[in-house]
Each structure stands twice: as C-alpha cells, then as structure tokens.
Amino acid sequence: MTAHLTVAIGGLLISIHSDNREFIAMLEQRYGNFVRQTQAGIRLEVEIVEPRAVGDPEEDLHVNFESGCWMMRRGDFLACWDPASGRGAVRQSAYPYAIDSVMRIIHSLMLARSGGFLLHAASAMCGGHAVLLSGVSGAGKTTIARLAPPEVTLLSDEISYVRRGANGYMAFGTPFAGELGVSGEDVSAPLSALYFLAKAPHNQLRPIAPAAAARMLLRNILFFAADPILVQELFRSACQFAARVPAHELCFRPDAEVWRLIA
C-alpha cells in the first residue's frame, strides 16, 4: 500500500505518492506547515531507487515538452508530468532535493502561464504587505533574512513565489530553504516592493527604473524549460511586474538597521 502527502505552495496542491513510507515521512517533516490532508491537485507517483539506477549523476537539468508531457531529467532524477491529466511519475533516490526540484519545475511551468514566477530572492511579510529581496548567490539573501526583526514573517530566504492576481501581485511562502535552513511560513501578502541586494559598507536605497528592473529580474527568475512560448510569457510577466512594482537597489551592511529601510 502506498503512502502519500500533499504539499500546498502558492495555492497549488501537489500530492506525492510512494510505496516507500520512510520517504513520505521524511517529506512530511521537511514540508511541515505546507502539508495538507487531501489528495487533490497534481499527482506524482515517486519510485525510489538506488542512486546509480537513475542515470549519470553528473547530468545537468533538461526540461522538454514531448508528446504532451513535460520530461525532466537531471543526474539525480527522471520525471515526466502530463499537464492535461495533472499526473506524473518520478524516479529518484531517497533524498529530498530531487523531489524539491521536480516540484519547483512544475510550479515554474504553471506560474509562467499565469503571469507569475519563482525568483531567486528572500521574501518577507511586514505590516500586511510583502517585499522581495533578490540577488544571486552571495548577494546577501540569507544575511538579510537572518537580520529580520521579530515582527517580520519570513516567506523564504532563497526562492520566492510570486503570483499575479486580479488586484496586483502576491508573494507566498515556500518551504524551499537556502543557507538559513529554515522553511518559510505558509502565508501570503500583496507585494509592495522589489529590492535588489548588494553588500556595502553602508545602507542605501536607490530607485531602479522599470527597464533596468526588468533586466535584473529576468536574470534572477528561475525557469528551466527550453520552451520558446513560455520564455516569451516569462519575459512579458517580468516586464509587467517591473512596470507595476517599485524596484530599488538596496546596498546594505550586515546590521539589523537595514530593515528600517525596508519595513
């Protein structure tokens, strides 16, 4: 008999089924507050195999649409997902990073069609609104997340979830943790600002024009599929977002004072 759990991120439910109960129990712990007691939404059947049975461990990620299914493969997993039926299958070893990646790919594909995206960014909720703190590795996402004052709710220190709604953009918490090793909270809030992080000897905030913001945003959006139509959708989404949400460069030193500029 198979075990399962359902993970809800950004309102999208993904049910993960496996006959390996230990694996499902590990995911329950990992995804914590994002686990739901339902089987609705996308359904993934996960087959747990020995690492060497998956493929070449050095293989880079490939995501392609073939015969109605998204085919995903990397050194540590093989997966396919049929967006029409919502069903998919994953073959991986019993560690969580592979299923993390498969879920992120599925989310990025779903978001690309609806004006949203996953972003390399910390995100936080303060005073009823959310902010994105974006940057490449080393820009300071984890540092600034660690410096957040107690009244700030962390949505993620690594991968932020942005959805377009009828009244603007919303940020959602994700369980995908970065160096901080802490899952975000399962909450959402309307987005009020986007900050691009840069470490500096002093704190400074500088507005960024929409064109530059769109360019920087495109650099930091997570997207994996070699699909021209979705890439164009993503480009359009980034431009719309940059035209609507104020963007700033946030130069900061590792000191909690920086949150006075944000919150």
Partner 1 sequence: MSELYVRPIRDIAARMLGEEVIVMAVRDSRVFSLNPTASAIWSGADGVTPLREIVARRVACEFEVDADAAYQDAVALVEELAREGILQISDGPIPE
Q: How far is it, in rounded angstroms, from Cα 45 to Cα 6? A: 12
**Binding of partner 1 at residue 242 (CB under 8 A)?**
yes
Within 122-141, which residues bind partner 1 (CB under 8 A)?
none
Is 228 a binding residue for partner 1 by CB under 8 A? The answer is: yes
Among 71, 239, 261, 263, binds partner 1 (CB under 8 A): 239
- Residue 211 engages partner 1 in binding (rule: CB under 8 A): yes
The secondary element (H helix, E strand) that includes residue 228 is helix 228-244
Q: Are strands 42-48 and 87-92 parallel, antiparallel or unpaired?
A: parallel
| 51 is a site residue for partner 1 (CB under 8 A) | no
| Residue type for position 100 | D
What is the length of the chain? 263
By the rule CB under 8 A, 209 interacts with partner 1 = yes
Residues 96 and 220: their CA atoms lie apart, in Å, by 24
DSSP code per residue over 149-201? -TTPEEEESSEEEEEEETTEEEEE--S---TT--PPPS-EEEEEEEEEEEE-S
Nearer to partner 1, 202 or 219 (CB): 219
- 147 is an interface residue for partner 1 by CB under 8 A: no
Specify the DSSP element, H or E, that contains 225. none
Q: How far is CA 255 from CA 41, 136, 215, in A?
A: 42, 20, 28
Is 92 or 220 the residue whose CB approaches partner 1 more closely? Answer: 220
Q: Contact letters (x/-) for partner 1, 164-203, by CB under 8 A?
A: ----------------------------------------
Least separation in angstroms between residue 156's CB and partner 1 is: 23
Residue closest to 169 by CA, chosen among 235, 116, 106, 113: 116
**Span near partner 1 by CB under 8 A; candidates 121-129, 149-157, 199-207, 228-236:** 228-236
- Residue 243 interacts with partner 1 (CB under 8 A): yes or no: yes
Q: How far apart are CA 244 and CA 186, in angstroms?
A: 25
By beta-carbon proximity to partner 1, the closer residue of 41 and 246 is 246
At 102, which amino acid appears? V
Size of the site for partner 1 (CB under 8 A): 16
Contact flag: residue 109 with partner 1 (CB under 8 A): no
Does residue 219 belong to the site contacting partner 1 (CB under 8 A)?
yes
The residue range among 52-60, 160-168, 185-193, 233-241 that interacts with partner 1, by the rule CB under 8 A, is: 233-241
Q: Classify the phi-psi angles of 201: left when phi > 0, otherwise alpha if psi is within -120 to 50, otherwise beta.
A: alpha
The sign of the dihedral angle between the CA atoms of 148, 150, 156, 162 is negative
| Binding-site member from 33, 236, 254, 257 for partner 1 (CB under 8 A) | 236
Candidates 212, 222, 261, 263: give the one binding partner 1 (CB under 8 A): 212
Which residues bind to partner 1, rule: CB under 8 A? Answer: 209-212, 214-215, 218-219, 228, 231-232, 235-236, 239, 242-243
